[in-house]
Structure 1
Amino acid sequence: MNAAEILRGRRTCSTAVQKAAETKSAGPPSTNGKLMDECKKDGFIALGCLMLLLAFAGAALPLMPTTIFLILALWFFARSSPRLEAWLLGHPRFGPTLRAWREQGAVPFRAKMLACHGMCIGYTIFVVTLTPGVWLDMSVALFMIGSAIYVVTRPEPVQGAPSKESTKPSSHR
């Protein structure tokens, strides 16, 4: 089952659960395992779509991140829908950044700067509009600084560099 079938309302996890309940028998273990796998796959597709919606909202709103939601959407799609995963990796706007992250654990310089600027703007808006107490202000500042340090210390993508998968020792003999 793919995402298009789910969106059109064809056999989904809930209908599979309903059918299992109607039979009033647990069925053989292989059926139960398959049902659980199907429900897990449907759940991952739904979570991937939610992450994608949050990423698109983050692209429009200055206080919400975009990239982390795209990375999470990619993670969920990789475990549930190869078609949606391929679409996201091949996307003209988001694909190159996601491929760099997946293959090299790298973040482009421009993305680093945008992330840090976004955190500064978000923190400024937080402090000015909410006038938080000292402890909340310091906690948020430390979280933002830690996040910025993490983002800035990621390597930048290298063209033609081997991916993580190709540098791992092969388990095949």
Structure 2
Amino acid sequence: MHRARRAFWIIGGVILVGIGTLGIFVPLLPTTIFYILAAACFSKSHPEWAERLYQHPKYGHHLREWRDRKAISRKGKIAAILTMSLSVVAVWFTAGGWWTLIPLAVLATIGTWIWTRAE
């Protein structure tokens, strides 16, 4: 692989791991999705680092399920849809009006997509 392209994927993976790790401490910031994206970046540039993510004691199972079966656990589905629902309520209370339609549309499309993934 070309050095610049490999560096791009490594940097992207490191940034995504950083954001995912931040999600452990910041409420409503997801962790697993950023680790999934980081594993994809590392699998293109540094497979050993991707394997370290897949073997992570807490998140590795979810990453492997997504890699192998494109599956999301029921608990993960509920958490994602609940979080999106809270954002709809938050926008309704803060901005109101037609602004509420934006997170509602996201909930309808992305929530449906999440719920229809394998478990």
TM-score (norm 2): 0.89
Counterpart residue number, 1:104: 69
Percent sequence identity is 27
In structure 1, distance between residues paired with 2:68 and 2:15:
24
- Would you say how many aligned residue pairs link Structure 1 and Structure 2? 119
Q: Report the CA distance shift for 1:58/1:123 in structure 2 as closer, same or farther (over 3 A).
A: farther
Q: Deviations over 1:107-136 (max 9, x none)?
A: 1111111111121223323332x31441x3
Contact persistence 2:87–2:103 (CA under 8 A): no
Amino acid at match of 1:65: P
Q: Report the CA distance shift for 1:61/1:48 in structure 2 as closer, same or farther (over 3 A).
A: same
SS at match of 1:125: helix
* Off by >3 Å, runs of 4+ in structure 1: none
Q: Report the CA distance shift for 1:60/1:70 in structure 2 as closer, same or farther (over 3 A).
A: same
- Find out whether 1:66 has 2:31 as its counterpart: yes
Counterpart residue number, 1:47: 12
Structure 2: 5+ residue stretches without partners: none
In structure 1, distance between residues paired with 2:88 and 2:23:
16
C-alpha RMSD of the superposition: 1.6
The more displaced of 115-124 and 76-85 is 115-124
Amino acid at match of 2:55: G
Q: Report the CA distance shift for 1:118/1:138 in structure 2 as closer, same or farther (over 3 A).
A: same
Counterpart residue number, 1:24: none
In structure 1, distance between residues paired with 2:86 and 2:25:
14
Counterparts of residues 73-88 of structure 1 (less than 5 Å): 73-88=38-53
TM-score (norm 1): 0.63
